[in-house]
Amino acid sequence: MLFGHIQEALQYIQTRTDFQPRYGIILGTGLSGLAAEIEAVAAIDYRDVPHFPVSTVQSHKGNLVFGMLAGQPVVAMAGRFHYYEGYTAKEITFPVRVLKFLGIERLFISNAAGSTNPDIEAGDIVFIRDHINTQPDNPLRGPNDERLGPRFPDMLHAYDRALNARGLEIARRHGIRAHEGVYLALQGPNLETPAEYRYFHIIGADLVGMSTVPEVLVARHMGLPVLALSVATNKCYPIEEIRETTVEEVIAVAQSAEPKMRQIVTGLLEELG
């Protein structure tokens, strides 16, 4: 069924554009402005694509943008889906399956996250090097279709080390404060209590957020290399530095860090060719 749905979505998209993207980009909270940098040849509303979920969150538009970015053919998801909106992990990740079948060779993911590492300040960029998944649903749960990937995908190399190294070097050249870190995925939608932030710090999280991991699991299931970038939007550790946080503040900090994200992503695309 999943395989058939992917084919139907693919066929519809191919009636709208024959553009061949090599890179997929998922734009996170407050970071959808990068879509405007793309020299777009087509934009397809999620609502028109068979079996695509439709985004409900403020600041998330829902369309696929095809075109050239830094000289490379890309498709961007402007608007992503979250578990807290009520979707299953399978629904959240369906577009990633479709992007793989459209022919992308690498997936870039961005998000906004809280920092549980005292050295990571609000506005800093973090290249995710590993994750801890606490979300209660898994997109790979249920019968496995071997045409998509293996039953038990390995997660030793969930995040591409070589891409992170290149990205960090680009950040350094641009004078951007950047780190590597472990992202812990939560179901949301509430933010965390001080005791929870402290616990996540203790178990090894540098960042906490409500997205990304389902998409990474599905990308890796299909053998797609992943680069994931977070903007740290609020400090969550040590406890004395936690402030009340609103979604408007998260979006504002993410938006102000967007030029850094753009420099890193376009720098990587130029280098990778």
**What CA–CA distance (Å, rounded) separates 79 from 26?**
8
Instruction: Find the shortest distance in angstroms from Cβ 92 to ligand HPA.
Output: 16
First to last CA, the chain: 36
Residue found by looking up tokens 């070097």 in the block: 169
**What CA–CA distance (Å, rounded) separates 63 from 43?**
6
H-helix segments, 60-202? 89-102, 161-173, 194-202
**What CA–CA distance (Å, rounded) separates 268 from 273?**
8
**What CA–CA distance (Å, rounded) separates 127 from 65?**
24
Window 16 to 55, contacts with ligand HPA (CB under 6 A): none
SS3 17: coil
Nearer to ligand HPA, 185 or 224 (CB): 185
The contact mask relative to ligand HPA for 80-119 (x = CB under 6 A, - = no) is: --------------------------------xxx-----
Nearer to ligand HPA, 132 or 222 (CB): 132
Nearer to ligand HPA, 63 or 233 (CB): 233
Backbone angles phi, psi at 134, to 5 degrees: -115, 5
Q: Where are the beta strands (DSSP E) in 139-213?
A: 178-185, 207-209
**What CA–CA distance (Å, rounded) separates 31 from 2?**
29
Window 231 to 270, contacts with ligand HPA (CB under 6 A): 233-234, 236, 245, 250
Does the footprint of ligand HPA cover residue 191 (CB under 6 A)? yes
Instruction: Find the shortest distance in angstroms from Cβ 209 to ligand HPA.
Output: 4
Residue nearest to ligand HPA (CB): 114
Please report, for residues 42, 88, 177, the alpha-carbon distance to residue 129 in angstroms, rounded to integers and kept in the order given: 33, 25, 16
Query: Contacting ligand HPA (CB under 6 A), which of 28, 62, 79, 209?
Result: 209
Of the candidate spans 17-25, 59-67, 203-211, 265-273, the one that interacts with ligand HPA by CB under 6 A turns out to be 203-211
The contact mask relative to ligand HPA for 139-178 (x = CB under 6 A, - = no) is: ----------------------------------------
Footprint of ligand HPA on this chain (CB under 6 A)?
A: 112-114, 186, 191-192, 208-210, 233-234, 236, 245, 250
